[in-house]
Amino acid sequence: MSFLNVIEIESALGGLCAAYPGVTELVRLPFATAEGRWCHALRIRSHWQCACRRSAVLIVSGAHAREWGGPDIVVDFAADLLEAYAAGSALSYGGASFSAAQIASIVERLEVIVVPDLNPDGRNHSQTVAPMWRKNRNPASSGGDPDRIGVDVNRNYDFLWDFPTKFAPGANPTTVASTDPASDLFHGAAGFSEAETQNVRWLFERYPWIRWFMDVHSFGGDILFSWGDDEDQTTDPSMAFGDPGWDHRRGVSGDAYREYIPAGYLSTVQSAATAVRDAIASVRGQPYTSAQSFGLPGWPGYPTSGASDDWSFSRHFADPSRRQTFGFTLEFNPTSTFFPSWAEMTDIIRDVDAGLVAFCLNARPGWLWVTWCHILTWLSDRVWHRLFPPELWGPYGPWTRLRRAVYGGLGRSKRRS
C-alpha cells in the first residue's frame, strides 16, 4: 500500500459510489482547478426519498498540498463507514469500537459529505516535484515567476480576508496571512478567488443543511475550534468580526479585543472537540489536544484570517437566515512531519478515522427530529405513493398522457377556430 495519488483519490470515490449505490451519490464540484482538474464530493446517507433535510457533516481535506495523509484518511473513513453499514457490522480501530447500531445511526440519521482532496494541483506537485509545496498552483498572481505561483487555500476564505484592515499591525504575521505571492501564506487576489474555496462555498450553498464541518490538516495532534482570529469571549456580542469599528484591533492576545462566541456554542464546540480527542486517544493512546485555534491562554496567539473553520462558523452570524455550522480543524499526527512512512500513516489513519466516527456520532440530530423525518418517509412510501402511484400519476403515467392528449386536442381545435 502507499499514499493515494490524485487520480486514485477520485477513482476511490467513484469505486465507493459504484459499490454502494443505495447510500451514496457522487457530486462533481463545479469549479475546475488552475490546471484543469475536477474534484468530487461523495454524499453518504440512507433514505434518499425522504424529503426532509437532515443535518449534514462535511469533511474535507487536502487543502495544503504537503499534508499528504489527509485525503487517505478521509477516503479510508468513507470506505469503512460504507463497508460496515452495508454489512451491518460493528467496526473497531485498535481500542476504539463502534457498534453496528452506531454506524447505522450515522448513515440513517445524518448525511455525511466527504471531499478528500480539495487541492489536487498542489498535491500532484508535492507528490511529483516539490514535497514541501503547500499552496495551490494558480499562476494568476505570479507574474511569470515560478517561485510566486500559488495561493494558500486556507487563507482564501472570506472571513476577515482583508487582514491588513481587519487585524492589528502587531498581529503575528507568520500565521495571519500574506499579500506576497512568494509567501506560503499568500491569501490570493480576493476572498474566494480560488476554485478550491469556491467549491467549498458551493457545497454550503447547495446543501444548506450542513451543520458540522471538519477540515483535516497536519501536523500537530490538535482538534481546533473557533475562533482563530482572537481569544474567545462570551459576554459582549458587540465585539465581533462583523463590526468595522474593531478593525486594526484584532489578532493580539491579552488586549481589549476578544471575539464573541455565544456560551452555548462554545460549550457545543468544546464537547465535540473533546469527543474527537477521546476517540483518537482510545485507539492507541495518542495524545491529541482539543483547543481554541487562536492559541493557548497566557501565550502569544497565532491568529489566522481567511481560514475554513472560522468562515464556516461565521456564516450564520453574518446572515442569521443560514443554519449555524460548527467548524473545526483537525491537525493529525502529533509528531513533527508531513511525511510519515506509509506504515506509520496506517496507524494515523486508524487514529483519525476513529475521531471522525466520533465526530459524526456527536453530530447526530435528536431522536424527535429523526422520528419526524421517518414518519414523513413512511407516509410518502406507504400511503401517498400507494394512493397515487407514480406509474399512474407521475409524468409518464396514463393520467398525464391523457391530460396532455386532452389539452393538445383543445389547443388544436382552438387554432382551427
Q: Does 12 bind another protein (CB under 8 A)?
A: yes
Binding another protein (rule: CB under 8 A), the pick from 25, 31, 35, 127 is 127
Q: Does 3 bind another protein (CB under 8 A)?
A: yes
Shortest separation between residue 345's beta carbon and another protein, angstroms? 8
Q: Does 222 bind another protein (CB under 8 A)?
A: yes
The cell for 284 is 492507541
Give the interface size with another protein as a residue count (CB under 8 A): 88
Q: Does 115 bind another protein (CB under 8 A)?
A: no
Long-range contacts of 232-239 (CB under 8 A, 24+ apart): 232/258, 232/259, 232/261, 232/266, 232/292, 232/294, 233/258, 233/259, 233/260, 233/261, 234/260, 234/261, 234/262, 234/263, 234/266, 235/260, 236/260, 237/262
The cell for 212 is 458540522
The residues, any chain, with a CB within 8 Å of residue 117's CB and separated by 6 or more, are 6, 9, 10, 39, 61, 62, 71, 123
Q: Does 102 bind another protein (CB under 8 A)?
A: no
Residues in 181-200 at the binding interface with another protein, rule: CB under 8 A: 183-184
Binding another protein (rule: CB under 8 A), the pick from 300, 389, 394, 411 is 300
CA–CA separation, 377 and 372 (whole Å): 9
DSSP E strand boundaries for 134-209: none
Shortest separation between residue 308's beta carbon and another protein, angstroms? 12
Q: Does 214 bind another protein (CB under 8 A)?
A: no
CA–CA separation, 308 and 30 (whole Å): 19
Residue written as grid cell 487541492: 119
Nearer of residues 236 and 381 to another protein, judged by Cβ: 381
Q: Does 219 bind another protein (CB under 8 A)?
A: yes
Find the part of the chain contacting another protein (CB under 8 A) among 143-151, 342-350, 364-372, 404-412. 342-350
CA–CA separation, 129 and 338 (whole Å): 15
Find the part of the chain contacting another protein (CB under 8 A) among 30-38, 234-242, 320-328, 337-345. 337-345
Binding another protein (rule: CB under 8 A), the pick from 32, 52, 100, 376 is 100
Q: Does 64 bind another protein (CB under 8 A)?
A: yes
DSSP E strand boundaries for 143-278: 210-218, 222-225, 232-233, 259-260
| Helix H or strand E segment including 299 | none
Nearer of residues 99 and 267 to another protein, judged by Cβ: 99
| CA-closest candidate to residue 37, choices 24, 27, 28, 46 | 28
Shortest separation between residue 65's beta carbon and another protein, angstroms? 11
Shortest separation between residue 321's beta carbon and another protein, angstroms? 32
Q: Does 77 bind another protein (CB under 8 A)?
A: yes
Q: What is the DSSP string of 243-289?
A: -GGGTT-BT-TTSS--EE--HHHHHHHHHHHHHHHHHHHHHH----E
Binding another protein (rule: CB under 8 A), the pick from 31, 32, 38, 83 is 83
The residues, any chain, with a CB within 8 Å of residue 141's CB and separated by 6 or more, are 148, 151, 181, 186, 188, 189
Q: Does 92 bind another protein (CB under 8 A)?
A: yes
Residues in 348-377 at the binding interface with another protein, rule: CB under 8 A: 349-350, 353
Nearer of residues 125 and 407 to another protein, judged by Cβ: 125
CA–CA separation, 305 and 282 (whole Å): 33
Q: Does 110 bind another protein (CB under 8 A)?
A: no
Which letter does DSSP use for residue 158 in this model? Answer: S
Q: Does 55 bind another protein (CB under 8 A)?
A: no
Nearer of residues 81 and 203 to another protein, judged by Cβ: 81
Find the part of the chain contacting another protein (CB under 8 A) among 16-24, 27-35, 53-61, 194-202. 16-24
CA–CA separation, 152 and 188 (whole Å): 7
Residues in 389-408 at the binding interface with another protein, rule: CB under 8 A: none
Nearer of residues 267 and 337 to another protein, judged by Cβ: 337
Q: Does 223 bind another protein (CB under 8 A)?
A: no
Binding another protein (rule: CB under 8 A), the pick from 90, 190, 392, 405 is 90
